Structure 1
Amino acid sequence: MTKKRVIDFSKDLTDIQTSTSKVSNNMNKVDQDLEEQAAQLKDLEQRLSEMDPYFISKSNDFPKEPLKLYSNQYFFEQSEEIQKRVEKEVHSNFDLLPKLTKLDYIVATIIGAIASLADILFVKIPKDVTYLGKYTQKGGGLTERLRSIGVNEDGQLNDFLSKIEKKSKVSFDASTKNGFNNYEREVSGFYPKTHRLMSLGHDPFFGLLFGLLDIVNGRITFIDEKGAIHLIPIDKFQDSSLKDMLFAPLLWMSHILSDICTPMGIPAPGWGLTQLLQFGEFGEKDRTLADISRYMYLKGYDLRHFISMGIVPGIVEICTRIYYKLTLEKDDPFTLSYSKDLNDIQNKARLQKLLFTAHAVATGGNALKIVTTQGNPAAFNYPQLIAFTKQSIQMSQIVTRDKKTEKIIRNREKINEEWKNI
């Protein structure tokens, strides 16, 4: 008596063997067909050669023997193709710099346009001028309001700032050549209205370095209108006490604070270094860049106007980041940590692209503002150029970053997705 099996595979195996046999027969028939077709092609090639003596046979175009669909050669060629496709996918960067949607571009452009309108309608230029003697142009209201801070109705410093000014005398505040005893070198263009522009100690950014060095050494460091650098000792500050040296940072800050609200104010950060730009021929008088920057300062292009110009990049930064936060997709709490890291990198890259687009539009708007003011250089928005330059550098860093880790994570995610679809 035959022992009864729990699971009988006999029938299934028989069916599989039958199917395999049919497939094998079909493949053999395909091989025979291929062989017949190859023989016919060879015969046709021979006939063409007999009919036309100039016929050149291209034997490489025809297989020497029929390719079997289940042969090693077939699978080798298929694996080579698959390998190429896999390598192309693995090394591609198509999603390592996320694409912005149409809505993203529209919103970023609108934000940049709004910032440009604020630049044209509210920031304007530092103060009312008649540019080139024929174009009457009005200054910005915001800068005018900033100029009213710290002064009384007569335009003089209020009591508090006036006291600070008297108690914060520094060596780098010399305003005429009379303070340079027995100085032999020529000094060009140095007078009360330009001395804060030229004196590097008055710079609100670099001044902390140059100002402290000047206070400690009892001297003034400045760049004259011809680009010459001068380091001149001031006699009455040569006997500085140890106390003055220790409190030099506080002395510098109090002096700068009192100078901000004076009629000429202090220059924008780094603006004094523009006196080194002794090249170019611009305008009717063939001015150099140094001449133009000095003209801008004399027409009110100081730290107060720099602050009012700052609302343009400020609008771009605030509005763009708000839009980014509102459109940011929330992370799945069950997402793996490496996937979260990749998402964070992608989100940050998207934010930088949004900011770059908006700043580019705002910078283009400032160029339009300069054109509409007949080329008045005082219409140039210095903070917006700084912001756009900074954003351009960040974008170049994102594009050229090392993407190996991101590719590994991306490819791992692709494999997981493919397995889910199987």
Structure 2
Amino acid sequence: MVKSHRKDSVDAMKNAAEILAVDSEIISRERNKIEQAKYNLNQLNNLLDDSIDDEIDFLEQLENSLKNPGDFKNSLLLEKLEIIGSRQIPNLEGISLIDSMEISYDWKEAVRLNQEYAKAYQIDLKHPFIAMFSSIELVEISKQVVEEFELLELDKLDYAFAASAGLIAGFIDAIFVGSIKSRADATGLQKSVDKAFDKIVELYGKHERIAELTNQQEKAKTDSSKQNIQNSIDKVKAGIVSASKNGKIVEREWTKHDSIKWLEKYKKVGYDAATNLKDGSFHIPGMSPDNHHLLSLAHEPSLFGLLIGIVDQITGKSTFIGNDGMIQRIVTDNVNKELSGNMVTQITQACENWFGHIMSDIAGSSGSKGRGSGLPVPGWAALQKLQFGHINYSERHSDVTIAELSELMFKKGYDVRSFSAQLIPVLVYETLLRCYWFYKQHFYYGKDLKESVPIANNRELARLLLISAGSFSTVDVTHAIIKSVPGSPQFIAEFIMTVNLPGLVDLGFRSFQNIRNEVSHRKHMENIYENDILIEYNRVMSDPSVL
């Protein structure tokens, strides 16, 4: 019943729109006829004005000839008379009468007569709701419809720019990032990002070393001891290390490994399997020196890892996830002696200790050669829960689960540094598109700064971000497939280390965001239909003066 009522309502509105469209066309044609008549009258008025001017001029010349017959040439009068006689009537627009439409007070009969009239005079009724309005009215209605129904106002240039931004970022990823490498094989942006992390760790290690020496200086009792410590502080600030070599004290440049060494010494934690598993008492399935950062949840550089690190340090336990997907908490000794005082003080000390230990591991250990094993991407350890799948990773690992695949990726060098390198192209197209959006909204449309802020909750910006993410991932996946050589035994191993995972994550998020936006918009449209359109329709149809 409800659907039938809605269909009848829509049909009635369509018929009314057809009648209005025909009336609008008749009025438009009548206006054209009136304009044609005005044009004809103007032409005739111009003809009469020119003729009267010529005749007045002829009479004046004739009068002069009569007054001075000897001085005037009759040929001029004859020439003027010939011009007056040869003046032709201008071409006038042909005007025909417009046949009016029969009028009926019966609705069905009126609809039938209207359709017959439209067919006879070739009036297009395919889009009656548009044809019933003038051009000016259509512009005004379009603005109101866009605002009321929250329609997208994107044009071809917007879509073209969004796709181009994604393509540019895709080529940046293919050329400057490429495949993720382990150890000293890193190149391009990955190598640059690794160096940036090394520099950060080096500076932080210097800072901690200077803080430790300053603390010693404050406790020193003699001036000579204080001066010696000050000399050491000055050397650290200058980036110099005094070391013993072949029984002699030599000075060399401070390196990343020196910073890591000091951080490892003064930021010890009980959950560090690299130093606390010597007796093999933990028995965590699958744990080894090259994956203990992955399986130790406190080593995750995120708020979750911070929380686990604080709890582990205060409780004297360590939290691990084995490669069987099971989480275990093991009692360990608190190797850090700084935790003391009340609970708030201990939490503060645990936070500082956790961050210092994270910095000691994020760029590899002090004894690692080359790149070293860093820290896992936030959330990567959770993939150990996915103990299913049959993935042909390589000839050596022909049948691995998703959990095993994620572990192999970490061992091959996919850590926070690699993730950061892959994140750069994603930030490129996001930045380009958001800057373009702000420029167009603020400078082109003249919106204020608040309305021009490129927040992706806006449906139009979210749509453009999806286009950019899609074009970026298209280039990225195509490059990964070509580089991995489909059909080769190492295809999966090479593909997963080449494809840009942050880009795929962003594409998935943007897809979900757009689906959510469209579902919300559909509900908004249904609400407008129920509360606005039908109410207005019922009001119009119930008014006897309308029909």
TM-score using structure 1 length:
0.65
Corresponding residue of 2:49: none
Determine the structure 1 residue equivalent to 2:471. Answer: 361
State the AA in 2 paired with 1:265: G
Query: Superposition pairs for residues 98-137 of structure 1, below 5 Å?
Result: 98=152, 100-127=154-181
Question: Does residue 212 of structure 1 match 2:321?
Answer: no
CA distance in 2, matches of 1:393, 1:347: 12
The residue number in structure 1 matching 2:287 is 190
Q: Identify the match of residue 169 of structure 1 among 263, 268, 290.
A: 268
CA distance in structure 2 between the partners assigned to 1:230 and 1:346 by the alignment: 40
Any residues of structure 2 matched to 1:46-125 within 5 Å, and which? 69-71=104-106, 96-98=150-152, 100-125=154-179
Q: Which has the higher contact order (CA 8 A, sep 6+)?
A: 1
Which residue pairs with 1:318 in the alignment? 431
Q: Which amino acid in the other structure matches residue 332 of structure 2?
A: I
Question: In 1, are the aligned partners of 2:146 and 2:152 still within 8 Å (CA)?
Answer: no
Q: For residue 300 of structure 2, what is the aligned residue in structure 1?
A: 203
Q: 1:317 to 1:126 in 2, by over 3 A?
A: same
Q: Is 1:385 aligned to residue 482 of structure 2?
A: no
Separation in 1, partners of 2:456, 2:266? 54
Q: Match of 1:140? A: 187
Q: Please, which of 327, 333, 341 is the counterpart of residue 235 of structure 1? A: 333
Amino acid at match of 1:198: L
Looking at structure 1, the residues matched to 173 and 374 of structure 2 have their Cα atoms a distance apart, in angstroms, of: 21
The equivalent of 1:56 in structure 2 is none
CA contact (8 A) 2:267 2:336 kept: no
What's the secondary structure of 1:171's corresponding residue? Answer: coil
CA distance in 2, matches of 1:139, 1:322: 31
- Secondary structure of the corresponding residue to residue 247 of structure 1: helix
Instruction: After TM superposition, give the deviation of residue 246 of structure 1 in Å.
Output: 3.6
Counterpart position of 1:133: none
CA distance in 2: counterparts of 1:176 and 1:288, whole angstroms: 29
Bigger Rg over Cα: 2
Identify which range, 272-281 or 371-380, moves more after superposition: 371-380
Cα distance in 1 for residues equivalent to 2:284 and 2:182: 31
Q: 1:156 and 1:125, CA in 2 relative to 1: closer, same or farther beyond 3 A?
A: farther
Equivalent of 2:445 in 291, 308, 330: 330
Map of 1:257 onto structure 2: 359
Contact 1:113 1:361 in 2 (8 A): yes
Query: Identity of aligned pairs, percent?
Result: 29
Q: Cα gap change, 1:199/1:159 in structure 2, threshold over 3 Å: closer, same or farther?
A: same
For 1:158 and 1:181, locate their aligned partners in 2 and report how far apart those are by CA, in whole Å.
Answer: 27
Q: Which amino acid aligns with 2:474?
A: G
Question: Corresponding residue for 1:286?
Answer: 399
The answer on whether the counterparts of 1:223 and 1:229 sit within 8 Å (CA) in structure 2 is yes
CA RMSD of aligned residues (A): 4.3
Distance 1:105 1:313 in 2: 18
Task: State the TM-score, normalizing by the size of structure 2.
Answer: 0.51
- Per-residue deviation, residues 85-124 of structure 1 (Å, max 9, x unmatched): 79xx999999634153222222221111111111111111
Structure 1 contact 221–232 (Cα < 8 Å) conserved: yes
Q: What is the rounded CA distance, in whole Å, between the counterparts of 1:100 and 1:165 in structure 2?
A: 54
Structure 2 unaligned residues grouped into runs of 5+: 1-101, 114-127, 131-141, 203-251, 365-371, 485-490, 537-547
Structure-1 separation of matches of 2:178 and 2:456 = 38
Does structure 2 conserve the Cα–Cα contact (< 8 Å) formed by 1:96 and 1:346? no
| C-alpha distance in 1 between matches for 2:334 and 2:310 | 17
